[in-house]
Chain A
């Protein structure tokens, strides 16, 4: 059914259609509306049987999901930013135990300085946690990916993270086609755990493993994730067949076949990128976009096939690794070593990624340095660097920058 609906609500409804049996979450912007939606559905009896557990922290949220999933219940939670980091230990544990938990990450920057706005530093920081990571471009995709996520997670017995840009998607009202219950039921069979806590057939889950087997266990975890490279597109195809919409898979190419320059990106910025590409194509430039829907496992073959012929690849990063540069870039370079790859870090902490800026980047692709920070305010940076050099003291720089901008004075003063 087509509805004008907030992204978070669309996701809450999609998750509810998947019939989770245990939902738990701890509030953090911009994730809140998703679980508020689910709380309403559970409390009103619209979604049952389902236990909604109000926990005292994200660490507990993931832990409750772990217990529930091991006991054979379909478990769901959602978080963002500091919350995701706070639950980190349990996030790794969920994949190590092979529990098919589905979690929404409403992507948000990580402090300090504290910043509630969107970038993808949070999920990127957990790229090695052994979870499948899917990134939504639109709210339609966000809703659809959740339905696929449960299917993928349960077929592989591996947790799946569905990442959607905070505010830009979670709080945006768009038209979304929500499927009906029969359709989802037909697509997603009930959760049948591979190993379950059952008094009728007792098993120990989470045993201590020594050096004689740990490597093998980790290898198998890798093998399971690599299986997802086949399963993710397969589930996407089956979803398209059942729902008449293609909104999943590993990668999505847009006007890349004959492109000299290809931009790789994840999430909602793909929309702006496609518009920019359309305009540049009209101006005669051969540019294209490759969207990564699946970032973990990394679809190396698909990326190589899509960008191998391009002269320049620009990776638009919405997070970065201080002291190194681009995170996605390193994966792209490993996948397609023969290409010129440039990193452009953009949209950190909610800074708008505008068509004008992207236009500039794409036109200058052949002249880009290896690492660029889009729309960086050089004056502010130079002043602060000068000040640091003069005083030779460490200390918080964000406050200095804000003072220079007059922001602190006007808000606090």
Chain B
């Protein structure tokens, strides 16, 4: 089903869940027939972006596959908060093996389904940024290179949250984590590091690569739906704020995700077969400071002696993204 782009902000609108839209334009969440992939009773923190992102992404995948789907999970918050034995929040067949092997395990499931002639059953792999860009990266790259029929979703909360907020390869510069403390001449994570896995995925020329945030859930759903139209390796990188690790208010999760996008720090785009085919334009550009100020992981940049130099460097990163991805252009 083609999704018609809706041009409005979700803040306070009755149209948020798509209730005022025609049936063909409704999002998965407003569909009465919808079956949950993740049920209530899990133990995520209040306002957890990962719980939200996973739920919307998987429900959309469920809908796209007619509920014939298997999910594979890396170790991390999502896995831990959703399966407190002997209970489980998963209403779909779900497998967790290890921290670093989710893409390969998903490949195994896909291979089994192929051998069994179950081409109707689709596979989704998922993990946090640590499980994806760091320890699981070799398996992910292998899965891309073989073009295995798996949609892999990375829920990027920009650190190892499950072990208590340590730096990952996706932690942004200047962010304070337990292993990048806000001390020394360059407080927080150092500049010049970090792994841009969406671009690396793009370089593998797999059928579909996209980024998204939990600020625009219809966009996230549309991307999952689009991803499921392809066979082969697909990669979706979703920015999911983590109130606990970022030191943000639980009710600010959506707002912060939006600010990440509207400042240019997190470019939202879609690519097919190695080429960017769509970017989500910035509608109301905000300075990075608006984004940074809402998170205590950047608190050391403000206060008595503000680090305007560091803020300027982060702003330069955002400006570079805006140029590179043409984020201010026309839709």
**Is B294's beta carbon under 8 Å from chain A?**
no
Which stretch (B139-147, B221-229, B314-322) binds chain A? B139-147
Q: Report A37-76 CB contacts with B as 1/0, cut-off 8 Å.
A: 0000000000001110111110110011111111111010
**Is B90's beta carbon under 8 Å from chain A?**
yes
- Could you say which residues of chain B place their CB within 8 Å of the CB of A287? none
- Check A205–B111 contact: CB distance below 8 A: no
Given A71-B109, A90-B101: A197 and B93 within 8 A (CB)? yes
Cβ of B64 to closest chain A Cβ, rounded Å: 13
Residues of B in contact (CB 8 Å), total: 46
The residue of chain B having its C-beta at the shortest distance from the C-beta of A206 within the complex is B96
- Check A53–B98 contact: CB distance below 8 A: no
**Is A29's beta carbon under 8 Å from chain B?**
no
- Check B70–A197 contact: CB distance below 8 A: yes
- Check B104–A206 contact: CB distance below 8 A: no
Which stretch (B21-29, B78-86, B180-188, B284-292) binds chain A? B78-86
- Check B121–A49 contact: CB distance below 8 A: no
The residue of chain B having its C-beta at the shortest distance from the C-beta of A54 within the complex is B146
Chain A contact residues (Cβ within 8 angstroms of B): what range? Answer: 35 or more
**Is A202's beta carbon under 8 Å from chain B?**
yes
**Is B105's beta carbon under 8 Å from chain A?**
yes
- Check A21–B138 contact: CB distance below 8 A: no
The residue of chain A having its C-beta at the shortest distance from the C-beta of B70 within the complex is A197
- Check A53–B146 contact: CB distance below 8 A: yes
Contact residues, B222-249 vs A (CB, 8 A): none
**Is B113's beta carbon under 8 Å from chain A?**
yes
Cβ of A209 to closest chain B Cβ, rounded Å: 4
**Is B329's beta carbon under 8 Å from chain A?**
no
- Check A22–B98 contact: CB distance below 8 A: no
**Is A331's beta carbon under 8 Å from chain B?**
no
Q: How far is the CA of A230 from the CA of B69 in the complex (A)?
A: 39
- Check B139–A199 contact: CB distance below 8 A: no
Given A49-B117, A59-B139, A60-B142: A205 and B96 within 8 A (CB)? yes
- When the two chains form the complex, which single residue of B104, B109, B114, B141 contacts A70, counting CB atoms closer than 8 Å? B109
Contact residues, A81-115 vs B (CB, 8 A): 89-90, 93, 97
The residue of chain A having its C-beta at the shortest distance from the C-beta of B71 within the complex is A197
Q: How far is the CA of A71 from the CA of B113 in the complex (A)?
A: 7
- Check A21–B115 contact: CB distance below 8 A: yes
- Check A49–B115 contact: CB distance below 8 A: yes
Given A51-B114, A67-B108, A67-B109: A89 and B93 within 8 A (CB)? no
- Could you say which residues of chain A place their CB within 8 Å of the CB of B79? 208
Cβ of B293 to closest chain A Cβ, rounded Å: 36
Q: Report B93-133 CB contacts with A as 1/0, cut-off 8 Å.
A: 11111101100111111111111110001000000000000
Q: How far is the CA of A55 from the CA of B86 in the complex (A)?
A: 34
- Check B83–A63 contact: CB distance below 8 A: no
**Is A4's beta carbon under 8 Å from chain B?**
no
Q: How far is the CA of A29 from the CA of B296 in the complex (A)?
A: 53
- Could you say which residues of chain B place their CB within 8 Å of the CB of A206? 73, 83, 95-97
- Could you say which residues of chain B place their CB within 8 Å of the CB of A410? none
Q: Report B56-78 CB contacts with A as 1/0, cut-off 8 Å.
A: 00000000000111101100000
- Could you say which residues of chain B place their CB within 8 Å of the CB of A210? 84-85
The residue of chain B having its C-beta at the shortest distance from the C-beta of A203 within the complex is B93
Q: How far is the CA of A66 from the CA of B112 in the complex (A)?
A: 10
- When the two chains form the complex, which single residue of A53, A97, A209 contacts B97, counting CB atoms closer than 8 Å? A97
Q: How far is the CA of A203 from the CA of B114 in the complex (A)?
A: 20
Given A202-B91, A208-B83, A209-B85: A66 and B115 within 8 A (CB)? no
**Is A186's beta carbon under 8 Å from chain B?**
no
- Could you say which residues of chain B place their CB within 8 Å of the CB of A21? 112, 115-116
**Is A207's beta carbon under 8 Å from chain B?**
yes
- Could you say which residues of chain A place their CB within 8 Å of the CB of B250? none
**Is A204's beta carbon under 8 Å from chain B?**
yes
Cβ of A219 to closest chain B Cβ, rounded Å: 15
Q: How far is the CA of A131 from the CA of B24 in the complex (A)?
A: 52
Cβ of A129 to closest chain B Cβ, rounded Å: 14
- Could you say which residues of chain A place their CB within 8 Å of the CB of B106? 67
Cβ of B226 to closest chain A Cβ, rounded Å: 21
- Could you say which residues of chain B place their CB within 8 Å of the CB of A89? 98, 100
Q: How far is the CA of A343 from the CA of B97 in the complex (A)?
A: 38
Q: How far is the CA of A201 from the CA of B91 in the complex (A)?
A: 9
**Is B166's beta carbon under 8 Å from chain A?**
no
**Is B16's beta carbon under 8 Å from chain A?**
no
- When the two chains form the complex, which single residue of A53, A64, A202, A208 contacts B92, counting CB atoms closer than 8 Å? A202
Q: How far is the CA of A51 from the CA of B67 in the complex (A)?
A: 24
Given A56-B142, A89-B98: A67 and B68 within 8 A (CB)? no
Q: How far is the CA of A75 from the CA of B109 in the complex (A)?
A: 11
- Check A55–B70 contact: CB distance below 8 A: no
The residue of chain A having its C-beta at the shortest distance from the C-beta of B69 within the complex is A199
Cβ of A18 to closest chain B Cβ, rounded Å: 14
Q: How far is the CA of A349 from the CA of B231 in the complex (A)?
A: 46
- Could you say which residues of chain A place their CB within 8 Å of the CB of B116? 21, 49, 71-73
26 sample A-B contacts, Cβ–Cβ < 8 Å, listed by A number:
A49-B117, A51-B111, A53-B107, A56-B138, A57-B139, A60-B101, A60-B138, A60-B142, A63-B101, A66-B108, A67-B104, A67-B108, A67-B110, A68-B111, A71-B113, A73-B116, A89-B98, A89-B100, A93-B97, A197-B95, A202-B92, A202-B94, A204-B90, A204-B94, A204-B95, A208-B84
- Beyond A60-B138, A71-B70, list 11 extra A-B contacts (CB 8 Å): A21-B115, A22-B111, A51-B114, A53-B148, A68-B115, A71-B108, A73-B111, A89-B98, A199-B70, A204-B90, A205-B93
